[in-house]
Structure 1
Amino acid sequence: GEARARLVPWLERVSAETGLVYERARVRAQKTRWGSCSPRRHISINRNLLFLPEAVVRYLFVHELCHTVHLDHSRRYWELVERMEPGYRALDAELRASEHLVPLWAYPEG
């Protein structure tokens, strides 16, 4: 749908900018996560990112792309995030506080 048409090309651009490569991208309706990255470099992103500010979405993409190098949240992981997105701390805080930007009708049932 529209979310995939807008979010995946954007993820591709951020991947090209950072040089961080993923294998596959999926856009899903998720209740609790904005995104995830599997050990096989499959990135899953929440369609509700469309409701968030662009800078926050870009940060989420950087966050997941950095997991293609470090699958954890170790110090080395956060150092890589900071290299790719120097203002990440403020963006991470904004992301964590963004749930209210998504209308209730956009969440999956169940």
Structure 2
Amino acid sequence: MTVTVIRHKRRKRAAFFVTPDGIELRIPARLPNRIVETILTEHAGWIEDRLAALPKRDVLPADRLLLHGETFPLVKSNTETRFRFDSENFHCPATWDESSLRKAYEAWLRERALTYVIERSPHYERQLGVKAERIRIGHQKTRWGSCSSTGTISINVRLMLAPQDVMDYVIAHEWVHLVHFDHSKAFWSKLASVYPNVAGAMAWLKQHGHTLQIKKTN
């Protein structure tokens, strides 16, 4: 894991972000390289400490895939023509390489994630008296969900790998933003009223969130 420097046209100042893949330094697009090098040098100790503190990723066996916090066997067969899940095993063609498998796995997770969120959202909408304008499934590096000012809610597809109650926490979190578009005391109070185990879900994501990666590892 290393420091990745990312230039943004709209960013006005440099800032570090800790991600599952390491550390990102996000900077204004025209910031001179000499200043970037100075920033990295001045923060070298901090960077080293943060990288060392990142939890080690659990290695998912090559013959298993993750869903809702559980691993299931991956069965490759010469007679299989597509990627599918039968509630006990994942299946795919024996001829697929890792790239083909990853793409099919993510596409399947995205489809299932959208269905899951759509089915869970009425539970929170009834309690909150609000409704999302649009629901989308993303694949963000650093955010588990987001709510726009226009009422579009985005949920990270990687949450399909977490236990369902953790995914429900993020869904509840974003729906509460339709009521309180901030992280004020009123927001946290309202969230606790619709999802009681906020602290537990947040702790789980802090400890295990880095392991939620949609790829097969050997």
- TM-score category, normalised to shorter length: 0.7 to 0.9
Q: Name the larger-Rg structure.
A: 2
Contact kept, 8 Å, 1:22 with 1:68, in 2: the verdict is yes
Residues 12 and 74 of structure 1: CA distance in aligned 2, closer, same or farther (over 3 Å): same
Given the alignment of the two structures, is residue 102 of structure 1 paired with residue 212 of structure 2, yes or no? yes
Shift of 1:93: 1.5
Q: 1:37 aligns with which of 125, 147, 150?
A: 147
Aligned-pair identity in percent equals: 34
Aligned 1:1-110 pairs, distance under 5 A:
1-19=107-125, 20-103=130-213, 105=215
Shift of 1:101: 2.4
Looking at structure 2, the residues matched to 68 and 2 of structure 1 have their Cα atoms a distance apart, in angstroms, of 28
Question: More helix by proportion, 1 or 2?
Answer: 1
Amino acid of the residue matched to residue 93 of structure 1?
A: A
Contact kept, 8 Å, 1:35 with 1:44, in 2: the verdict is yes
Contact kept, 8 Å, 2:176 with 2:190, in 1: the verdict is yes
Contact kept, 8 Å, 1:34 with 1:60, in 2: the verdict is yes
1:93 counterpart SS class: helix
Amino acid of the residue matched to residue 150 of structure 2?
A: R
Shift of 1:104: 6.8
Which structure would you say has the larger RCO, counting Cα contacts within 8 Å and 6 or more residues apart?
1
Q: How many residues align?
A: 106
Gaps of 5+ in 2: 1-106
Deviation per residue, 1:65-101 (Å, 9 max, x gap): 1111111000111111001011111112212222232
Contact kept, 8 Å, 2:153 with 2:174, in 1: the verdict is yes
Residues 11 and 104 of structure 1: CA distance in aligned 2, closer, same or farther (over 3 Å): closer
Looking at structure 1, the residues matched to 214 and 158 of structure 2 have their Cα atoms a distance apart, in angstroms, of 11
1:2 counterpart SS class: helix
2:135 counterpart SS class: strand
**TM-score, structure 2 length as denominator?**
0.45
Amino acid of the residue matched to residue 110 of structure 2?
A: R
Shift of 1:3: 2.6
Looking at structure 2, the residues matched to 51 and 99 of structure 1 have their Cα atoms a distance apart, in angstroms, of 10
Shift of 1:14: 2.4
Aligned-residue CA RMSD in angstroms? 1.7
Looking at structure 1, the residues matched to 142 and 178 of structure 2 have their Cα atoms a distance apart, in angstroms, of 21
